[in-house]
Structure 1
Amino acid sequence: MRRVVIGATAVSMALSIAACGKAGDDKDSDSGSSSSGGKSIGLLLPDSVTARYEKFDKPYFDAKVKELCSDCKVEYANAGADAAKQAQQVSSMVTKGVKVIAISAQDSAAIKSSIQAAVNKGVKVVAYDRLAQGPVSGFVTFDNVKVGELQGQALLAALGAKATPKAKVVMINGDDADPNAAQFKQGAHEALDGKVDIAYEQSGLWKDTVAAQKMSAAITQLGAKNIAGVYAANDGMAGGIANTLKGAKISSIPLTGQDAELAAIQRIVAGTQSATIFKNYKTEAETAAEMAVDLLEGKDIKSLATSTQTSGSGDKVPSTLLTPVSVTKTNIKDTVVKEGLWTVADICTAEFKAACTSAGLE
C-alpha cells in the first residue's frame, strides 16, 4: 500500500485505477527488451486486473529509470495473478542477464525460492509495494498499517453517533497471500476494535466478485437491517459490495475503500461510498526506480531506505515507507483533483453532474 514520509499536499501525485490489458498478460516494456544484460532492470508486477499497475506503476517506473540511467533498459512482465508464472518470470529475467529486479509479489512466500535463486546469480532484488520473502535488498511501500487505521477512522467518522460497541460492521479484507493485506487489517482493527462490533469478517481476495459474494453472505447471516457499515480493504472490492448493497436495497450506510479509483471517487460523490485512500503511486514507482538504479550502480541506498521492515522469512529489509491520505467528499478537490490524479471533468460525467454540483465540485 525512507522512513521518508510524504504528505499528499507535498507531492505531485497521480494515482490509481483503470486496468489495462487482461489478467495473464505478459508483455515486454516499451523501454526495451535486453537479452544482452548489462544495464538492464526487471520490473515484475502481480496482475493487470488491479488497475494501478499497468496504468501508473509501470510507466512511472520506466520513465524514472530512463531519467536516471539513459542507457538502462527495463524488462517488464506481468504475472496475471499467477504465482507460478511469476516464479518463471524471475528465472527468465535472470537468464536474460537482468542485474536488478523490482518485484511486487503475487504471493510473497511462494516467490522466496525464486528470489534466493536470483540472488545466488548475483541479482539484486527490490520488493515493490509488497514485501517478498527472501534476501531482498530494499523495499518501497506505503505505511500500510496507517492505511488500515485511516480506513477504520473514516468508517467511524461516517457512522457518527451510530458508532457504538453494538453497531454491527462487516469487514472484507484483502488476499492473505499479500502481506500488505495483513497490515491493512491490523490497522483497521486498531481503529475499530471496541468501538463497533465486527460481526462478519472474511477475505475478498482483492476480487470484486468474491467481495460481492461475501457481502451477500453477511446480509443473509446478519440481516439487512442490522448492518451499520462495511469495511472494504480496497476500491475494487468496494465496487462489488456497493452493487450487492444496492441489490439488497441497503442504502446510506458507510463503505470504505482504498486506491482512489475513479469509480470510487464517483461513488463518494454520489454517496454510495464514504471514503477511499489516496496513495502516491508516482512517488512509489519513482523511488523504487531510483533504488533499483542505485543498486545497479553499486551505490548505497541508505538515503532512500531509512526504515527497516521484517519479512515473513525473518529478513530485515531496508525500507521506504510513504504516507497515505484519507479522501472523503469534503476533500476531493484538495487531494485527487489538486494533485492531478483526476480532473473535475473525469469525475463529473453526465451521470454524476447533479451530485458533483451538490458536492461543490462544479
Structure 2
Amino acid sequence: MNYLLKCGLALVLFTGLAACSAQEEKPKTSAEDVRLTAEDQVYVGFVLDTLKDERWYKDKELFEEAAESKGAHVKTLAANGNDDVQLKQAELLIEEGVDVLVVVPHDAAFSAAIVDMAHKAGVKVISYDRLITNSEVDYYISFDNVKVGELQASEVVKQASNGNFAYIGGAESDNNAVLFRQGAMNVLKPLIDKGSVKLIHDQYTDGWDPITAEQNMKTALAKNGNNVDAVIAANDGTAGGVINSLSSVGLAGRIPVSGQDAELEGVRRVVKGTQTMTVYKPITLLAEQAADMAVKVGSGEDVAADQSVHNGKIDVPSLLLEPVAVTKENVRDTVIKDGYLTEKDVYQ
C-alpha cells in the first residue's frame, strides 16, 4: 500500500497515538545495505501483550530500532494483558495497511483470531517469543523454551538433588509457560520416579503476577509445614513473589529458587544469593532477527526457517535461539559482558 495513504489512515484511526513520517531515500551502498523509499517502505505492526514488565520495554526499543535501521516504519501497541484490546489493536493496524504483523500474544489460543483476521486481509503474522497456537501463523521466532525449563531445573538440582520441590509456573494461557514446565519436568521426572524428589506443589500463576505467585508459594508452605527444599519459579517476577514468601518463614537464601528473563532485580537477587539462577535470553539478538524477518516478510519475501514447532494445528516455520543459564559465578561473563545490564546497576 502507498505509504502516504497508510499515514493518512493511521492519523484518522490513531489520532494522538503515533505520527507517520516518510524517510528520504538513501544511497544504495551495497546489496546488504539497501534502504527502501517512502513509496514502498515496509510498514510493521508490533502488537505486544504488555509493557508492564521491564523485559518488554527492552524488546520494544530493540525491535523498533532494528526494523527502522532497515528502512521500515514500525508502530507498536500494547494491550496490557487484555485479549479483546489486543485483538482490536491488531484489527486497527490491519485497517491502517500494515504489511506484516509481529505479535506477542497474551493468550496463545485466543490470538488465533488475530491470525485469521490478518490472513483475510492478506497480511502475514510472525509470532514473537510466544507461540500463537491452533492457527496457521506464518512464522515463529523465540528461544528454545523447553531448554529454558531444563536449565532452570538443572541449576536447582545442582543445589538440592532430593527433597520436597515446588513448581511455581507462569500463566497457563501463555504457551511458553507450558514449555518451561515441560523442560523442567524433563529433568525432574527421573528424580521423582526414583523417589529422591517429591513434587509437593505444582501450580501455574495467573497473569504471571508476582503477588499471585507469592500467595501460591504461601499455600505450598502452609500445606507442607514449611518443609520445602527447592522451588522452580518460571520467571524472575514469579521468583520475586516466591522469595517474598520464603522470607516470611526464614527460608530466603537457604533453599534454591530458579528464575528467568535476567531482569535487573532478578540478577541482583542472584548476586545476593536469594535466587539461585536466572535465564538470559539475549533479546538483542531476538529483536534483530525478528526485525530482519519482519522486513523480509513485509516485502513479500519468503524466509528460510530450518526448524518447525507444532502449534496444535500446523508445523510453524520457526527460528529458535539458545538461552543461557546465569548464576552468581557467570554474571559478568553473560549479561554484563553483553551490555544487557551494567556492573554498576547489578552490584550497586
Scaled by the length of structure 2, the TM-score of the pair is 0.86
User: Which amino acid in 2 is paired with 1:316?
Assistant: D
Q: Which amino acid aligns with 2:137?
A: V
2:187 to 191, 194, 209: 191
Alignment partner for residue 43 of structure 1, among 35, 41, 46?
Answer: 46
Deviations 1:315-334 (Å, cap 9, x if unpaired)? 22110000001011111111
Question: 8 Å contact 2:172–2:205 — kept in the other structure?
Answer: no
Asked if 1:207 corresponds to 2:209, the answer is yes
Alignment partner of 1:180 is 2:176: yes
1:136 Cα deviation from its structure 2 partner:
1.4
Amino acid at match of 2:79: A
Mapped partners of 1:30, 1:271: distance in 2 = 46
RMSD: 2.0
Distance in 2, matches of 1:223 and 1:215, equals 12
Residues 1:151 and 1:207: Cα distance change in structure 2 (over 3 Å): same
- Which secondary structure does the structure 2 equivalent of 1:265 belong to? helix
Gaps of 5+ in 2: 1-15, 24-38, 192-196
**Which of the residues 245, 254, 257 maps onto 2:256?**
254
**Is 1:264 matched up with 2:266?**
yes
Q: Distance in 1 between matches of 2:256 and 2:22?
A: 46
The equivalent of 2:121 in structure 1 is: 121
- Helix, strand or coil: the match of 1:227? coil
Query: How far is the alpha carbon of 1:29 from its aligned partner?
Result: 6.3
Deviations 1:40-78 (A, max 9, x none): 110001011222112x11111111111212xx3112100
Distance 2:334 2:90 in 1: 36
Matched-pair contact (CA < 8 Å) for 2:307–2:320: yes
Change (3 A) 1:31 1:311: farther
282, 285, 298: which is aligned to 2:284?
282
CA-to-aligned-CA distance 1:162-207 (integer Å, 9 cap, x gap): x12xx10110011111111111000000111232211111112311
Counterpart for residue 228 of structure 2: 227
Equivalent residue letter for 2:168: I
Separation in structure 1 between the aligned mates of residue 184 and residue 20 of structure 2, nearest angstrom: 39
Number of the residue aligned with 1:171: 167
Relative CO higher for 1 or 2, CA cutoff 8 Å, sep ≥ 6? 1
Q: Which residue of 1 aligns with 2:31?
A: none
How is 1:1-362 mapped onto 2 (pairs within 5 angstroms)?
Answer: 28=17, 39-54=42-57, 56-69=58-71, 72-133=72-133, 134-159=135-160, 163-164=161-162, 167-195=163-191, 196-205=197-206, 206-224=208-226, 226-251=227-252, 252-302=254-304, 305-312=305-312, 314-349=313-348
Query: Which secondary structure does the structure 2 equivalent of 1:331 belong to?
Result: coil
Please give the secondary structure, in 2, of the residue aligned with 1:329.
coil
Shift of 1:28: 4.7
Q: Give the conservation status (yes or no) of the 8 Å contact 2:236–2:278.
A: yes
Q: Is the CA contact 1:37–1:96 (under 8 Å) kept in the aligned structure 2?
A: no
